[in-house]
Amino acid sequence: MKKKIRIILRIVALFVAAEIVSSGVVFGQTFNSIKPETKNTIDSIFNAKIEAKKTVGVSIAIVDNEKVVYSNGYGYSNKEEEIKASDQSIYRVGSITKSFTALSLLKLQEEQKLSLDDPIQKYIPELTIKSDFDTDNNIYIKDILTHTSGLPNDILNGMFTEELPKNEWIIDALNKQKMASPRNYFTSYSNVGYMLLGELIERESGMNYSEYINKEIFQSLGMKNSTVNKNIPVSYLKNEQIQESSVIPSIGGINSNVLDMSKFMMMMINKGKSSSGKLMHKTSINEMEKERFTKTKLLDDWEGTAYALTVQEVTVNNKKNSTKEVKMYGHGGDTPSFHADYKYIPELKVGVVVMSNTDAGYVSARSVLLDYLNTEKELKAKLSVVNRAQFQEAKTEIPSPKEILGTYTIGTYKVDVDSIDRFHLKIGSFTADFEKQNDSLFYFIPQLNQKYRFVKVGNEILVKSVSVHTGREGYVGNKFDNKQITDSWKNRLGKYEAINAISCGEAKTFNFSTAKLELKETDGVLQAFLQSKTNDSLPQPFFKIVDDSTAQEAGIGRNTGTYLMVLDNGNLYYNGFEFKRIKSAL
């Protein structure tokens, strides 16, 4: 009798659903085939974000064994119009777009239209950016994919705009720059590199980037709700609803939802196969997921790098207490107000994608995936600690006390190490004290509960951060030749305004329509202050003086290495902007 009642209820539910759809009212579908305790664990993570008012809207999907087992939305996709977030809510995925860019190049390689081993100049011969380093001028596609090519990080002028500039403008802007570092020196995230890869896709496919992604990936995978720079949803910055500008398509232009991204993850887990057919060869997916580190001079422990994928290891224990280590892949994406993140483990056939529409709304897909494995599958999963530095090309030594003394940049901040026992880092009104731990090689910052140490690699002295919990290490700074600012650069101190800034309309963030630059002398070192119309928090880098017309941002990694150039007309060139002085500091 109970069985008959259940069947009748299911039939009634189907008729009700049919009436709802036919009447034009569509509700977001929610998948739920997980344990109640797993659902409670996951829901509590996102409800806490909503209750703390750290996010307005957030959505999640979990895939397991070739199907979506859980999806949900929390909060609002549009609070003002009271539209609730669901698994069908659209978000910007930011740099997750780069995974699609990499996949497209592998697909074109399958079709023998290009080779990732080639220098990109073979396909874009007008790219003539020079290098001050003792390497050839070839910029290899495979190095761009892993952010080890040595290209600058960004060209801010034109990256976020109402009407995006043509790719020819980006190439011209790069040709006025120089390479930021030698090839395979360090993994330094480069949006500029992926701008070039977008142009490469267009030239070799015969379609613009948006058309190619839509035809070759979205349509093939059934990602019907995904677009590139179309119908950008609203988001929330500092508790205010905003509308973000368009962004260069190949670096972060995709808009999607968690259900569409689930299809992408399942295709990756299934090595190129999807429910609608075969998108890629298995060998191409394996090539995309292969960790690349054999020729990199400096390596961090935290995560490995593949083609537009990060690589980490997870240790799992099954019910028989058998332990094994599995690979976890994924990529994150952040814009000023959107956050997205996906992680998947092919061997376990599981993956998680999370998307948020609020500046403070980030939730780690990795953490949710580990919670799912532990609660739903009882695998006692935890992130492994891997010493990747052992694979780096260069050997690490211990510097002498005399070698340690000098001027460093940690991030984009300058630190003067005048004592090997104790020194300070000032950030505005905040002072961080580096205190040597007994006779060890480690320095501890009590205010941040963080450890650091100095290492010598070749002729370089570098700074590494050391996790107090896991011991993982990563490069965060280096010693630089603190040449006193020259008279020619002193004569250029003052305030400048951009004369070629591309309009960003009424964008509420990263609006460089009226970009300004100020050059100052700080403790004898050249420092630059770039200002946007929207007064965004931007790095304030220090510069190494190269010669009377060239200076380079000091430091290692993100937001370092870009050149400040003097043009023939006396104006300055920096980050794609040509600056004309409006007030001298003298």
Positive or negative, the CA dihedral 458, 463, 465, 466 is positive
Q: What is the pLDDT of residues 394-448, one digit of tens each?
A: 889 999 999 999 999 998 899 999 998 888 887 777 788 888 887 777 898 887 7
Decide if 432 contacts 448 (C-beta within 8 A): yes
CA distance from start to end of the chain:
93
Confidence at residue 422, expressed as pLDDT on a 0 to 100 scale? 87
Q: Which of 88-102, 283-297, 476-490 has the highest mean predicted lDDT (pLDDT)?
A: 88-102
Q: In the structure, what pLDDT confidence band is assigned to residue 7 with cuts at 50, 70 and 90?
A: very low
164-173, 480-489, 516-525: the lowest-pLDDT one:
480-489
**More confident call, 7 vs 31:** 31
Decide if 524 contacts 443 (C-beta within 8 A): no
26-35, 251-260, 404-413: the lowest-pLDDT one:
26-35
Q: What is the pLDDT of residues 333-345, one digit of tens each?
A: 999 999 999 999 9
Confidence at residue 517, expressed as pLDDT on a 0 to 100 scale? 98
CA distance 532 to 538: 9
pLDDT higher than 90, residue 163: no
**More confident call, 175 vs 16:** 175
- Joined together, the tokens standing for residue 26 give 């569509």
Q: Where are the alpha helices (DSSP H) in 249-364?
A: 249-252, 258-269, 282-289
CA distance 216 to 222: 11
- Joined together, the tokens standing for residue 527 give 């420092």
Q: Provide the percentage of residues in the chain whose pLDDT is more than 90.
A: 75
pLDDT higher than 70, residue 566: yes
What's the predicted TM-score (pTM) here? Answer: 0.92
**pLDDT (average), residues 134-141:** 88
Q: Is 200 left (phi over 0), alpha (psi -120 to 50) or beta?
A: alpha
Q: In the structure, what pLDDT confidence band is assigned to residue 17 with cuts at 50, 70 and 90?
A: very low
| Residue partners of 81: CB distance under 8 A and separation at least 6 | none
Three state DSSP letters for 16-27: HHHHHHHCCCCC
Q: What is the pLDDT of residues 345-354, one digit of tens each?
A: 999 999 999 9
Confidence at residue 258, expressed as pLDDT on a 0 to 100 scale? 98
The candidate with the shortest Cα–Cα distance to 76, out of 53, 96, 92, is 53
Q: In the structure, what pLDDT confidence band is assigned to residue 9 with cuts at 50, 70 and 90?
A: very low
Q: Provide the percentage of residues in the chain whose pLDDT is more than 70.
A: 95
**pLDDT (average), residues 172-183:** 94
Q: What is the pLDDT of residues 221-246, one digit of tens each?
A: 999 999 999 989 999 999 899 999 89
Beta bridge partners of 224: none
11-25, 304-318, 476-490: the lowest-pLDDT one:
11-25
**pLDDT (average), residues 320-342:** 94
| Distance set, CA 124 to CA 4, 108, 137, 200 (Å) | 68, 16, 13, 7
